[in-house]
Structure 1
Amino acid sequence: MKNWIGVIALQFVISPAFAQSDAFSPGPVFEDYGAVADIDATFDVPKGMAFKVSFDVREAGEAGARNRRLETAARFINMHARAGVPEKKMKLALVIHGKAVNDVTKAAHYEEAVGGENANAPMLAALMEKGVRVIICGQSAAYYHVTNEDLLPGVEMAPSAMTAHAVLQQEGYTLNPF
């Protein structure tokens, strides 16, 4: 009997967590990536707001799965498009370093370095098609034996992540800590 009480109690704890996940959906810009929840926000995004935001990505994703840190760019765009910010008013950059460098490589390098298929490739192509810059740290690339030839099309090689962030900041980008 005690075991059944525990199971029933666990269902009440787990059920709200699963119910919350139903609130998230992708779109309107990226239909396959960047699921967000519709929020009855009391914090208004000012009319005419323009975003220039960079994201620092150093953690690698799970082998063969999309890196949630990379997907943050799709979530940001979908979330703000739902809030009425035009796509042309959002300029984003992903600065990749550390173990995440393999997540922006072509199939052959990814397979050898990580194993499996690089699930990030289609998402990164979709992001770059919408103008998101993907910049890799040259220092991390050298450390993990990633060359320009190993990079997915459109990925930029910077001398370092520090350099990329400094240049982006001078260009008016803010660093998002998430």
Structure 2
Amino acid sequence: MSLISNLKPTNLTLMKKAIFTLFAGIFTTVGFAQSNDFDDTLTKITQEKDSTLAAMFRADSIKVDNQFKRKLMIAEFKDVATYPVIDAGTFSGVVPVEDITEIPDPNLEYKLMFELVNFDSDTPSKLDASIVEVARIINLHVASGIPLENISPVIVVHAGSLNAFTTNEFYNGKFKMDNPNMKLIGELEKLGAKFISCAQAMFFFEVDKEALLPMFKVSLTAQTILSSYQMKGYVKYRINR
């Protein structure tokens, strides 16, 4: 006979209760451990979330602070800037400085070659930043005491920058507005600036001769212009705006 069949009813009942209590304890312990694991996970996730939000807040605060610092700097710049030759907007200006100790020779011929390659198609209604930079550099030379008649600018245009030098008809067809750079380009032309385009870039960017403003000369490639004009004594400015 088995051991269980030999037990009296009272003893059997006690054994069943003991077994039940044992298993209940095991399940309770497991459940408690699982609950602790979940609580730990939840705590870690909450801490990670709080840490991430704090980092985002700090980053946003720094970004906003930098934006206001830039606005303040621009406002201060506008208040003092001068435009000795061309006023092409705020960023073509020059900050007057006293007690300059290094002065360029005003008797030299300043042969300046500007290589323009970029165009911001997201803001076609604004003055092209590269052309504005050309105006700023000329302003800086004149503000430094160099006579305007001693400055010989050559503007070499290739890549996307070709768009900034197109007729209103072409510009309208592409950007649905007139070319906002016309006046500034005209002022540079009056100063005696020479404009040269790259025929290779014209092919790839689909800008034909008729689309360019009439003062342009066309070179087979910008590369030979860049090399030959430097051999003629021109200083190259690569404008990355």
| Residues 77-92 of structure 1 aligned to structure 2 (within 5 Å) | 77-92=138-153
What's the CA shift string for 1:113-144, capped at 9, x where partnerless?
Answer: 33322111111111011111121111111112
Cα 1:77/1:15, change in 2 over 3 Å:
closer
| Equivalent residue letter for 1:17 | M
With the length of structure 2 as denominator, give the TM-score of the two structures: 0.63
Q: Which amino acid aligns with 1:18?
A: I
CA distance in 2, matches of 1:125, 1:152: 10
Give the structure 2 partner of residue 121 of structure 1: 182
Whether the aligned pair in 2 keeps the contact of 1:23 and 1:38 (CA below 8 Å) is: no
Distance in 1, Cα, partners of 2:166 & 2:69: 40
Q: Which residue of 2 aligns with 1:35?
A: 93
The alignment partner of 1:22 has SS state of helix
Letter of the aligned partner of 1:96 in structure 2? V
The reply on whether 1:44 has 2:99 as its aligned counterpart is no
Say which structure is richer in strand.
1
**Residue 37 of structure 1 aligns to a residue in which SS?**
coil
> Which of 1 and 2 has higher RCO (CA within 8 Å, sep 6+)?
1
CA RMSD of aligned residues (A): 2.6
Task: Tell me if the contact between 1:97 and 1:141 (Cα under 8 Å) persists in the aligned partners.
Answer: yes
Counterpart of 1:28, as a letter, is P
- Greater helix share, 1 or 2? 2
1:85, CA displacement in angstroms? 0.7
Deviation at 1:49, TM superposition (A): 3.0
Alignment of 1:15-164 (within 5 A): 16-23=72-79, 25-32=81-88, 34-40=92-98, 41-61=100-120, 62-164=123-225
User: What CA distance in whole angstroms lies between the structure 2 residues aligned with 1:142 and 1:24?
Assistant: 44
Instruction: Quote how far apart the aligned CAs of 1:66 are.
Output: 1.2
- The superposition leaves residues 64-120 of structure 1 with CA deviations (integer Å, 9 ceiling, x where unpaired) of 211111122211221221221111110111111111111100011112233322111
Q: Is the 8 A contact 1:65 1:118 kept in 2?
A: no
Of 216, 226, 231, 1:170 maps to 231
Classify the secondary structure of the residue corresponding to 1:99.
helix
CA distance in 2, matches of 1:169, 1:14: 36
Which structure 1 residue ranges, 4+ long, deviate > 3 Å from structure 2? Answer: 9-16, 23-26
How far did 1:51 drift? 0.9
Equivalenced residue count is 173
Structure having the higher Rg: 2
Percent sequence identity over matched residues? 22
Letter in 1 for 2:86: F
Which consecutive residues of structure 2, in runs of 5 or more, have no partner in the other structure?
1-56
CA contact (8 A) 2:112 2:234 kept: yes
Deviations 1:18-70 (A, max 9, x none): 34332553522224453222233333212413210111111004312111111
Instruction: Give secondary structure in 2 for the equivalent of 1:52.
Output: strand
